Structure 1
Amino acid sequence: MRNLTAMLTLAAATLITTTAAQAASTNLVKNGDFELTSNGTSKQLNEGTTARPDRTYLTDWTSKGYNFVLNGNTIDKTGDSSIALALWGPNSYSGNGPKNGLGVSPTGGNVLAADWDYFAGPVSQQISGLVVGEAYTLSFSYGAAQQVGFRGDNPINYWEVSLGGDKQQTASLANVSQGFTGWQQTSMTFTATSSNELLSFMAKGGPSGAPPFMLLDGVSLVSAVPEPSTWGMLLGGLGILAFLARRRKAGAV
């Protein structure tokens, strides 16, 4: 009987973990890793509707301001005319750049880079499929770096994030001249007030820039609680386990 109880407890715990994870695993953000572009990477994001050979669009996102999508493998590479923006890092100037640890993000691939001092503007996406009154967890990786060719400390660097009318901000990162803060991981909780809301990231900082860039990658927005249908599945599964336990006990008697 003790073995049966242990088996039921383990099965129940596994069922709870699995169903909760399935319910909260649907990412409502499209192209949250910034891999889909219209005209390659290492270019400034286009604001207008007219395509330009020197700029690119991020699929499912809109941009206003001095924002770029960079390839993580060439984020600090210099001397290549096809790269519109390079940040200080180990590969700058043929490997003679500062050993500040700048490299690919935790999720790899492309990253978003936004200047908070020079024509700052948001990068946004319209999120649909929200349930009014339901809590959602927004998660992403972020950091701060500096443009090659410039020097000067940037003591305050952070992202201002909004979903609908709710605004929050990340912890502020202090970056030294030619430095990189390292990649940080953060999560925020928002409560939906409409089925469709605008998700927006705005680079912020101070007191003055020497061009500072906020970096972003791996954006996801998932439900913070299991859906009602998931709870139904969970309760049904537990009911079956209880029935089997009673049946086993009756058979033993």
Structure 2
Amino acid sequence: MKIAKRIASAVVVAGAALMAQGAMAADISNPDVALDLSSGGDIFGHLFTGNNAANTFAERYTFTLSEGSSIFADTFSSSGNAKNGLDILGLSLFNDDGLVLKGTQLSTGKTDQWELTSGPLAAGNYFLLVSGTVLSKAAGAYTGSATVTAVPEPATYGMLLGGLGLVGAVAARRRKSQDAA
């Protein structure tokens, strides 16, 4: 009798484990999307149709940077209440070596908003990773934007300061010649 109970309990535990596998959330991510930052920026996003409650996503937006560029990116998702729509869980920047920078969550609940700002980055291939969970069977969406700016070389700052010095010297010389007259 004890052996039969042990076998029955083992079957129940195994069945529960198999049922739990079936209840796991599905990954509904889009394939990688290439961003075109050649004109300074691009927008991205995803519309999730209904019947995706509890499913997860981790979407990659790829791009290439030239030497000394910096990037600003943000994502935004709004829903009628905290139980509908999406829960954006992260915005991160990666390169071929791995994680470069994690974004900052600005708000969560009815509105999920994340932003990411980098300093100068080396030339190379990068991607933004937007991850989250669909909260309800209703449709939900997020949008985002990425802008890239060139960071001036230190020599550029030196030339700027030199030019300002020359303008100041010319102005002082004019003022001195007007005072003398």
Band the TM-score falls in, shorter-chain normalisation: 0.5 to 0.7
Distance 1:185 1:125, change over 3 A: same
Aligned to 1:128: 65
Is the 2:73–2:145 contact (alpha carbons within 8 Å) kept by the matching residues of 1?
Answer: yes
* Larger gyration radius, structure 1 or structure 2: 2
Partner of 1:222: 149
Relative contact order (alpha carbons < 8 A, sep ≥ 6): 1 or 2 greater? 2
- Compute the displacement of 1:235 (Å): 1.6
- For 1:198-217, what aligned pairs fall within 5 Å after superposition? 198-205=126-133, 209-211=135-137, 213-217=140-144
Write the letter of the residue equivalent to 2:109. A
Name the amino acid aligned to 2:92. V
Matched letter for residue 117 of structure 2: M
TM-score in terms of structure 2 length = 0.53
Aligned length: 137
Change (3 A) 1:45 1:196: same
Q: Distance in 1 between matches of 2:47 and 2:100?
A: 21
Query: How much does 1:129 deviate?
Result: 0.3
User: Is 1:112 the counterpart of 2:41 in the alignment?
Assistant: no
Amino acid aligned to 1:173: T
SS of the aligned residue for 1:210 comes to coil
Q: Name stretches of at least 5 consecutive residues in structure 2 with no aligned partner.
A: 1-27, 38-42
CA distance in 2, matches of 1:234, 1:112: 39
Post-superposition CA distance 1:214-249 (Å, at most 9, x none): 5123321324x5433531442232122122123124
Cα-to-partner distance string for 1:178-216 (whole Å, 9 max, x where unaligned)? xxx28x574423553x420312222224xx732574512
Q: % of aligned pairs identical?
A: 16
For 1:219 and 1:233, how far apart are their aligned partners in 2? 30
Match of 1:197 in 2: 125
Cα distance in 2 for residues equivalent to 1:232 and 1:241? 14
More helix by share: 2
Cα offset, 1:46, TM superposition: 6.8
Is 1:250 the equivalent of 2:176? yes
TM-align CA RMSD: 4.1
Measured at CA, do residues 249 and 174 of structure 1 come closer, stay the same or move farther in structure 2, by a change above 3 Å?
Answer: same
Aligned in 2, Cα 1:228/1:190: closer, same or farther, shift over 3 Å? closer
User: What secondary structure is seen at the aligned counterpart in 2 of 1:243?
Assistant: helix
For residues 154 and 124 of structure 1, the distance between their equivalents in structure 2, rounded to whole angstroms, comes to: 21
Spell out the pairing of 1:65-84 with structure 2 (5 A cutoff).
none
Matched, 1:237 2:170: no
For residue 169 of structure 1, what is the aligned residue in structure 2?
A: 103
- Aligned residue in 2 for 1:5: none
Q: Per residue, is there more strand in 1 or in 2?
A: 2
Q: In the aligned structure 1, how far is the partner of 2:67 from the partner of 2:145?
A: 20
Q: 1:126 & 1:155 partners in 2: Cα distance? A: 25
Query: Is the Cα contact below 8 Å between 2:57 and 2:131 reproduced in 1?
Result: yes
